[in-house]
Structures are given as structure tokens and as C-alpha cells.
Amino acid sequence: MTLTGVVGESIGLLSGLILAAEQVAEKAAEESSGGLFDLDATLPVIAIQFLLLVAILNVTFFKPLTQAIDERDNYVRGSLAEAKERLRKSEELARQYGQELAAARRGAQDALLQAQAEANKLRNQQIAAAMAEGQTKVDAAKAEIEQQRQAAAEVLNTEVEVLSQQILRKLLGDLVNA
């Protein structure tokens, strides 16, 4: 049976009970002289009507509503627990990725420092080699200059001797020849 069928049947039964209760109440009202509070057969009929209405509403309305609310509550709780678990996992992954990133940065920094140290070492070696080559060239140039100076000095000494001999001959020409 569907929910609408149960509700329709319950409404029909309820309306029948209400009509019966009204008829009993009318008969009781006709028989009594009526005060403000007449405690006659209408009170138990109204109490029975109320209890029947509560029972019918409980079966047709409150139980399905409560069940739907409970299902929704369970769904929300499950979704919340799943969301918390996902949040925990994402935070764990973020922490792990942060550590990996920091390690990668440290590695890159170490590699950069090592490359700079190697570059400085190579530069210093090249500078030292260039300085040694320069010093060798300077020494070779000094030696060549010294040789040229000595050769020039020898040439000048011979020329000075020849010139001094010529000067002596011209000045003392007769005395030197004799």
C-alpha cells in the first residue's frame, strides 16, 4: 500500500470517528441540562478521538517524517565524516608536499653553491695559469731585453773603441803613426 492510500484511508476512518463522536456528543448534550463543565460521555469520546488521531498521525505522518529526518541526519553525518577524512588526508598531503618542496629547495641551493664553488675554483685556476704564463712571458721578455742590451753594449763598446781610435789618430795622427 502506498503512503497516499494509507493517508486517504486514515482520513476516511478519522472523519467517520469524528461524525460518530459528534452524534454521541449531541445525544449527551440533549439529555443533560448543561453546565459549564459537564462531565458526561463526550469526554471519553473526545479522549478516544484524540488518541486515535495521534495513532493515525504517528503511522501515516510522524514515522515516515522521522525516518526521512533520520536518513537525512545519517547522510549528513556520513558526509561530514567523509569530508573530515578528506580534509585530514589533504592536510597530510599538503604537509608532505611542503616537506618535499623544502627538501628540493635545499637540494637546489646546495647544487647552486657547489656549482659556484666549482666555478670559483676553475676561475682561480685559470687566473693562476694566466698569471704564470704572463710571468713566463715577462721573464722571457726581460731575458731578451737583457741580451739585446748586452749585444747593444758590445756593439757600442766596439764602436766607441773604433771612434776613439779614429779620434786619437786624427788628433795625434802623427804621433800615433810614428
Helix/strand/coil (H/E/C) assignment for every residue in 84-138:
HHHHHHHHHHHHHHHHHHHHHHHHHHHHHHHHHHHHHHHHHHHHHHHHHHHHHHH
* Residue 47 falls inside a structural domain: yes
pLDDT for the residue numbered 143: 92
Task: Summarize the confidence of residues 21-30 as an average pLDDT.
Answer: 66
Task: Summarize the confidence of residues 94-104 as an average pLDDT.
Answer: 95
- Return the number of other C-beta atoms located less than 10 Å from residue 164's C-beta: 10
* Residue 18 falls inside a structural domain: no
pLDDT for the residue numbered 37: 61
* Residue 126 falls inside a structural domain: yes
* Residue 54 falls inside a structural domain: yes
Whether pLDDT at 177 is above 60: no
Tell me the C-alpha distance between 176 and 163, whole Å. 15
Residues 6+ apart with CB under 8 A from 40: 28, 31, 32
* Residue 29 falls inside a structural domain: no
Residue 47 CA, chain-centre distance (Å), reads 67
Q: How many domains does the chain have?
A: 1
* Residue 77 falls inside a structural domain: yes
Total-model pTM: 0.41
* Residue 174 falls inside a structural domain: no
pLDDT tens digits, 54-95:
888 888 888 888 899 999 999 999 999 999 999 999 999 999
Q: Which domain holds residue 58?
A: 42-147
* Residue 7 falls inside a structural domain: no
